[in-house]
């Protein structure tokens, strides 16, 4: 478990009472908390000091949360972003995820769930900072560019590697076809969604025998399921 001590969270929320309640809970969990009420203030704060997580409301006055997120990612800021909003439409969630959000929480929400999602995102960010990712029987070494399945070398093409890396970065989260195309665009600028289906199929053929499942989220993309060791 990652220690909250020294971890900084930026809350971007224009509802003063809600922002105060969230800040109180997170400070009680041991985080350092900064609160901003507009997109402009959020971008200024992000540029001045790095946070470990941004809680970003979509319905901000002026510049909305989508635009804040777009600007953060355009500036190569990879800080984990948890979008918090009253909007619960699937297409709006997908839009936020496509822009680079790491998770999504719809209002109203329980503070206990908010705390749990914050912990999970910070754990994931720290795990991704390591060059080695372990997912059940799969070991994925980003630095050495080697993968092992059940202790044996796993042969992957460059594109299969990129697709798998994109899925491993968001286990149990939907990854859109557009995001996967962007991940492998360096190899083929004309890559199509149909080509992605081919790479997913090849990965399934290699990973399914070891119990690693890639689920299709119809109309949107794919999800690498949490590994479950079945008896």
Pair 81, 180 in one domain: no
Residue that finishes a domain, picked among 88, 113, 129: 129
Q: Does any domain span residue 230?
A: no
Q: Are residues 100 and 124 in the same domain?
A: yes
| Residue at which a domain ends, from 94, 129, 164 | 129
In this structure, is residue 201 part of a structural domain? Answer: yes
Residues 6+ apart with CB under 8 A from 18: none
What confidence tens digit (pLDDT) does each residue in 38-87 have? 999 999 998 888 888 999 999 998 999 999 999 998 887 888 999 988 76
Among 6-15, 105-114, 150-159, 178-187, whose mean pLDDT is lowest?
A: 178-187
CATH number, domain of 215, equals 1.10.10.10
Structural contact between residues 68 and 79, judged by C-beta atoms closer than 8 angstroms: no
Model pLDDT, residue 189: 54
- pLDDT for 145 beyond 50: yes
Predicted pLDDT at 2: 54
Domain around 79? 8-129
Q: What is the DSSP letter of 157?
A: -
Mark whether 39 and 149 lie in a shared domain. Answer: no
Pair (148, 190) in one structural domain: yes
**Helix 39-48 vs helix 65-74: angle between axes, to the nearest 10 degrees?**
30
pTM for the whole thing?
0.57
Residues 21 and 120 in one domain: yes
- Please indicate, yes or no, whether residues 187 and 201 belong to a single structural domain of this protein: yes
The residue that leads in pLDDT, 1 or 218, is: 218
- Are 84 and 181 found together in one domain? no
Quote the mean pLDDT of the chain. 87
Query: How far is the first Cα of the chain from the last one, in angstroms, to the nearest whole number?
Result: 27
- Rounded Cα distance between 21 and 16, Å, is 9
Residues 92 and 138 in one domain: no
Whether 99 is covered by a domain: the verdict is: yes
Q: Total structural domains in the chain?
A: 2
Q: Answer yes or no: do 85 and 124 share one domain.
A: yes
109 & 213 share domain: no
């Amino acid at each position: 478990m990652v220690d909250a001590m020294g971890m900084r969270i930026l809350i971007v929320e224009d509802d003063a009472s809600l922002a105060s309640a969230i800040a109180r809970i997170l400070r009680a969990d041991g985080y350092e908390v900064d609160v901003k009420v507009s997109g402009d203030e959020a971008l200024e704060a992000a540029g001045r000091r790095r946070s470990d997580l941004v809680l970003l409301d979509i319905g901000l006055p002026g510049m909305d949360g989508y635009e804040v997120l777009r600007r953060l990612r355009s500036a190569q800021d990879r800080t984990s972003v948890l979008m918090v909003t009253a909007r619960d439409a699937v297409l709006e969630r997908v839009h936020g995820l496509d822009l680079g959000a790491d998770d999504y929480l719809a209002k109203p929400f329980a503070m206990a769930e908010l705390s749990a999602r914050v912990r999970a995102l910070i754990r994931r960010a720290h795990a991704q900072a390591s060059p080695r990712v372990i997912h059940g029987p799969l070991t994925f070494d980003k630095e050495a560019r080697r993968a092992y399945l059940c202790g044996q070398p796993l042969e992957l093409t460059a594109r299969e590697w990129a697709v798998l890396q994109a899925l491993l970065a968001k286990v149990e989260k939907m990854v859109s076809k557009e995001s996967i195309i962007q991940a492998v665009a360096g190899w083929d600028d004309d890559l199509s969604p149909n080509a992605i289906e081919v790479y997913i199929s090849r990965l399934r053929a290699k990973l399914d025998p070891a119990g690693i499942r890639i689920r299709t989220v119809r109309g949107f993309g794919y999800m690498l399921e949490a590994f479950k060791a079945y008896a």
